[in-house]
Copies of this chain bind each other. A is one copy, B any other.
Amino acid sequence: MPELRRDPIIGRWVIIAVERARRPKGLRGPHAAAEEKACPFCEGKEAMTPREIIAIRKEDAVANGPGWQVRVIPSKTPFLKVEGQVNRRGKGLYDVINGIGAHEVIVETPQHIANIADLDEVQIAKGITCWIDRVVDLGRDERFKYVQIFKNYGSSSGGGSIRHTRSQLIATPITPKRIKEELQGARSYFEYHERCIFCDIIRQEIETKTRVVADADGFVAMTPFASRFPFEMWIVPKDHNCDFSRMSVESRLYLGRMIKKVLGKVKAGLEDPPYNFVLHTAPFRRPKAKEGYWKTIEDDYHWHLEIIPRLTHSAGFEWGTGFYICSITPEEAAKYLRETETA
> Contact between B226 and A5 (Cβ–Cβ < 8 Å)?
yes
Q: How far is the CB of A151 from chain B (nearest CB, A)?
A: 9
Task: Using known A-B contacts A8-B225, A316-B275, determine if residue A15 contacts B325 with beta carbons closer than 8 Å.
Answer: yes
* Cα distance, A16 to B328, chains bound together (Å): 7
Residues in chain A within 8 A of chain B (CB atoms): 5-18, 20-22, 24-25, 27-30, 79, 91-94, 148, 150, 152, 155-158, 172, 176-179, 181-182, 184-186, 189, 197-198, 200-201, 204, 208, 224-231, 269-271, 273-278, 280, 306, 308, 310-317, 319-330, 332-333, 336
> Contact between A197 and B9 (Cβ–Cβ < 8 Å)?
yes
> Contact between B93 and A201 (Cβ–Cβ < 8 Å)?
yes
Residues in B with CB closer than 8 Å to A28 are 270-271, 273, 311
* Cα distance, A291 to B324, chains bound together (Å): 38
Specify which of B94, B320, B324 is in contact with A14 (CB 8 Å cutoff). Answer: B324
> Contact between A317 and B158 (Cβ–Cβ < 8 Å)?
yes
Specify which of B179, B277, B324 is in contact with A12 (CB 8 Å cutoff). Answer: B324
- 20 examples of A-B residue contacts, CB within 8 angstroms: A5-B225, A10-B178, A12-B228, A12-B324, A13-B323, A17-B325, A24-B230, A24-B328, A24-B332, A24-B336, A27-B270, A28-B270, A29-B312, A93-B200, A152-B317, A172-B323, A178-B321, A178-B323, A276-B320, A315-B319
